[in-house]
Each structure stands twice: as structure tokens, then as C-alpha cells.
Amino acid sequence: MPAFRYNATPGATGLIDAPDRAAAVRSLLAKGITPSVVEAVGAASKPAAAPSWSGTRQKAAAAPISAGRHRGMSLPDTASFVRELATAIQAGLPMVPALRTLAKSGRSPTQKAMLAHLLAEVEEGKTLADAARSWGRPFDDLLINLMRAGEASGKLGDVLHQGADLLDKDLALRRSVMAATLYPMILTVLVGGAVAVMTTVIVPRVLGPLKGQFKQLPMPTRIVQGSAEFMGTWWWLIALIAGGLVMAWVRARATPGPRESIDRALLKLPLFGAVLRDAAVARFTRTLGTLVQAGLPVLQALRLTSATLTNHAMRAAVGRVCDQVQAGQTIAEPLEREGMFPPLLVQIVSLGERSGRLPELLNQAAGSLDSRTETRVKVITNILPPLLIVVLAVVVGFVVAAIILPLLEMQQAIG
């Protein structure tokens, strides 16, 4: 019977007799060993070609995978999947039985195809991280490196739980920021629509019959009437300018240099700038703490954390920090020079580097930053809507005054 050499996490190696490579992999998994490499004794370092598997499993993995690879799960579904897999592994299930258990629960077609793909790849001897990378979305570099660190340390279940916590907190933060911006944006659109309707439809119909009956209309009436005539005559020019501005904005957001300048300006906006900055710093702190706690080198963790930031100004700042850390500096010093990070965070990072408790202190700092972001969000959602309503009331009152004032003057003239 042929012999096969295997490498398993964490660092275990050995030989096993089996009829073929697939049987060797199944025997190892049945013993609770998750192999990273399985190759025939005397074979080249490159693993042998993966054998085919028969019956239902092949049909489940084949057709849907090509379509599923281009469709990822949502962030809540990804966090739920990672947590369920972590729970199954911590319960003592080997990887293949854990994936099969998850596949039995109610899943969408895309999720079933993804699980079938992971199951097939792991049965062929690949690690979970390599199997996830071969699938693509929703497994980004952050999740894949967390999986790889967990497999290398033998603490995959704990690390996956940390990854699920990271995704859940990221989702909660996104929803908080969305709640702070969505309602004011809706009110702004409603205010603009109300003003446009009043000036282009209502005002011309009311003031049209009064044209020529006054030597000089009241100032509010002249302003509103002029605005209505301008919008009615040059609406096409207004639409053209608005479309050009939207296209210029989209193009600028797609170009690295202008995108960084725009994101830097967004961080300086009143009210919203503070929320965006705190959210970005909280995500940076939490992600870095999770990666370092999982066992990744600090420099690699910094580079992965930089890639997760959506604000390009913050991403560029972390990139410069990475370059200086690679040159031999600590993390705290370049963070302080960038000027985008709170002084308290800089002090916490410095203390963590000196005491060797960087992951623990970073996670504590992330919790504090999350609380501050939620507080700012509550302030915005409580203050901004009433302010917008006041603006709407002032605008509507001005238009109503523009309509009523000439009617009152006409009544006084008749009287």
C-alpha cells in the first residue's frame, strides 16, 4: 500500500498508509488531524493532482461554483457563517464534519455552493485559508490572514470568533454612521424639492395675474419671482451643470490623488467630519488589535489594516506609518506625526508597545472609540433634523410672504 507524507497544523508531520491520496486525507480527518500538505512519499514537492470525488458531493460542488464565485455574501451573513464555523470547531469537530454540519442548515444557493467548494478543497488537503482564497468574495485578505494565523497557531476556533466579533462591530458602526447621515439627507432632498415646486409651479400661477398692476413689487416677491423665472427659463442649464458636477465627483472619487484630497476634506466637515474620523480610527484600532492578537506580525497587521480603511486619506496615513515601522521605528511615533489619530490612541499604542500588551490595549481603545462615535451619531440625529425643519420653515415662510405681500398692498389700494 502506498505511503503518504503529511504536514498538519500546528507543525505536525508524519506518514500514513492509504490506497490513494484522497483516502489518506479522509483517514487523517477522521483522526482529528487537519493536513495542510499530503503527498506521496518520493513525489515532488508539488502535491499530486486532486482526485475526483463521486456522487452527490461532486454534483453539489460543480455547477453552482462558477456562478457563486462572483457573488459574495452580505456582511451580516459572513459574520454569521464565521461565528458558526468557529463554534463548530471549538465544539471539537474536525474541519470537514464542521463544514458538512453547516451545509445542512438552511442556506442560500450561493452559500451552499461556497460550502461545497470549501468542503471539496479541504478534503483534497488544502487549508481553510487556501480554500477560502480560491473562492473569493466574501473572503478578503483580512479574513484569509486570520484563518491562516489561526491554523498556524492551532487556535482556529478562537481566531474565527475574534473575526466574527470584528465583522459584527464593523457592521454596527456602519449602521450607526448610516443612521446619522441618511435621515438628514432625506430631509435635505425634501427641502430642495419643496422649494423647487413652490418657485416653479405655485409662485408663477399666483403672481402671474398680478404682473403689471404694481409699479414695484415688494422685495421678497421680486426675489421669488426672479428665481422662478430663472429656473423656468434655464432649467436645462441647471440640469446640465448638476450632471457635470456629478460626473466630475464620480471621476474624482475614482482617481487616487483627488480621492485622497476629497476624503481629507470630508474629515474636516463640521459634525460629520468628526463622525467619519472617529469611525475610521475605531475600525483601524479594532482591526489592528484583532490581527496582532491572532498572532500576525505587527507590520503585516498594519498593512492589512490599511487596506480595510475606506477613507483614502486615512489609508495613505497608515501606509506612511507602515513604511516608517519597516524602517525600524515604533508605531506610536509616526502615528503621532500624522496628526489624524487621537492623542489618547497614540499614548495607548506607545504603552502597549512598551508593556507587550498591544492587542489588549488596542481592543480596549476600540471600545472607547466606538462609544464616542455612537455619542456623536446620537448628537447629530437629535440636532440636525430640527435644524433642517427650521430651514424649511424659513424658506416656506419667505415664499408665502412673497405671495401675500402684493395681495395685501392691492387690498389697501382698493380700500
Domains of the chain by residue range: 3-40, 58-139, 217-415
What is the pLDDT, as a whole number, of residue 43? 44
Amino acid at 412: Q
| Over residues 22-27, mean pLDDT | 68
Alpha carbon 21 to its chain centroid, in Å, reads: 40
The residue to which cell 482591526 is assigned: 287
What is the pLDDT, as a whole number, of residue 337? 87
Look over the chain and give the mean of its residue pLDDT values, rounded to a whole number: 76
Burial of 347 (0-12, 13-18, 19+ CB in 10 A): middle
217-415 folds as Receptor-associated Protein (1.20.81)
Q: How many CB atoms lie within 10 A of CB 81?
A: 20
Q: Which triple of cell numbers denotes residue 230?
A: 430663472
Same topology, domains 58-139 and 217-415? Answer is yes
Say yes or no to pLDDT of 55 above 50: no
What is the pLDDT, as a whole number, of residue 244? 92
Say yes or no to pLDDT of 16 above 80: no
Encode pLDDT of 190-204 as tens digits: 777 777 777 777 777
Please tell me the distance from the alpha carbon of residue 138 to that of residue 73, in angstroms, as a whole number. Answer: 6
Regarding beta strands 35-40 and 3-8, do their DSSP bridges make them parallel or antiparallel, or are they unpaired?
A: antiparallel
Question: ω into residue 256 within 30 of 0, thus cis?
Answer: no
318 in Cβ contact with 173 (< 8 Å): no
The second-level CATH assignment, the architecture, of 58-139 is Up-down Bundle (1.20)
Encode pLDDT of 106-139 as tens digits: 567 777 788 888 888 888 888 888 888 888 878 8
Q: pTM higher than 0.85 for the full model?
A: no
Lowest mean pLDDT among 150-154, 157-161, 218-222, 283-287: 150-154
End-to-end CA distance of the chain: 117
